[in-house]
Chains A and B, each alone.
Chain A
Amino acid sequence: MIANLVGVLFDGIAYGALLFLIAIGLSVTMGLMNFVNLAHGAFAMLGGYATVVLMTRFNVPFLAALPVAFVVAALAGAALERLLYRRLYQASHLDQVLFSIGLTFMAIAAATYVWGPGLQPVELPPFLTGQVKVLGLELGAYRIFLVALVIVITLGLVFLVERTRFGAQVRASVDSQQAAAGLGIDVNRVFSLTFALGSGLAGLGGALGIEVLGLDPTFPVKYMVYFLLVVAVGGAGAIKGALAAALILGIFDVAGKYFVPGVGAFVIYVLMVVLLILFPAGLYGRRG
């Protein structure tokens, strides 16, 4: 029973780690540009499809496809930011919501047109499949890989934000765009780079998530709620908050589906309502 519990807990953590990886970009764009981007899942989907195409058409190994997924999604994010998103930073939230729903619809239709409506398969390398015995517990090898990778990326992100010049510029821009611009920080460049980085991470998350979340054209809508939840519960623009929120959601979702399958999907929604009532501005939110 205890081993079972730990197994579920670990699955939940792996799931949460994946959510965090995808949603962190959304959290940052929301905190930095105050932009409600419902199309964020589309970048994750793009990363996923890039991986599938590379692996099935060009026989690229899974691990080598991951960085490409990151780059493809980051480039798409950078291009869209330059062309479209930038025009709407000052627009109302309603306009942003509509715009990003429109983009999501286009992404879904395009993906259906190119790859068909079915679930995409992914063949993991042998060392990432099966179970591994850790301290007497049977844990999924891929889950361990996921958690380890996300830990590394999170540490990298924290380093980037807290220790580098670019990170300082990002933090300054989050706190006050005007003051940051007044100090000579190129806020537009910070926005573009951050948006590209966030999209890239989403693409990487989408590639890693094919095995866990599944990949089909409805992906951006199916998981939109989860990504938004991470941001709303964690508080926009806070790495710590997003991480905590993603882990809480991941663990509760997996545990709910495992222990009480009859009410599985309710657990997460009820949890969300409770968390939002308790913390209207998010766990670590600075803005309402």
Chain B
Amino acid sequence: MKAYFGRRYAVSASHRLHSEALNAEQNRAAYGKCNNPHGHGHNYAVEVLVGGAVNPETGMVVDLVALDRVVGERVLDRFDHANLNLDPVFTDRIPTTENFCRTIFALLKDALPGGELEHVRVEETENNFFECFREG
């Protein structure tokens, strides 16, 4: 029987939205306050949803401790209390929450200790969030 297990994590990080393809004025127009030269930060909430058969022996889709370890190693250790712009993955792409969400999905997709990654949601503030689903 297929069920889904969801887990939420906290990531506090800074970023600056600035495109090299745009001039200073265009950057300000596109990104507004998010283009501030010295950056700014958020308390992101990262929600990971894992789908799969419920193991009849444990009653679980995925082991929580093992999932925490993988997310900790691949995502939290890397991005929590970091400047996203300085991470190699963002050298050629802008650390919008769309791209952050897609990055997290890619980092976790083949590394889960069980089940399949169904979706990743990244909440940038209480009022906006971004989701990336398995289908693409």
Q: Do A and B come from one complex?
A: no
B interface residues (Cβ-Cβ under 8 A, vs A): none
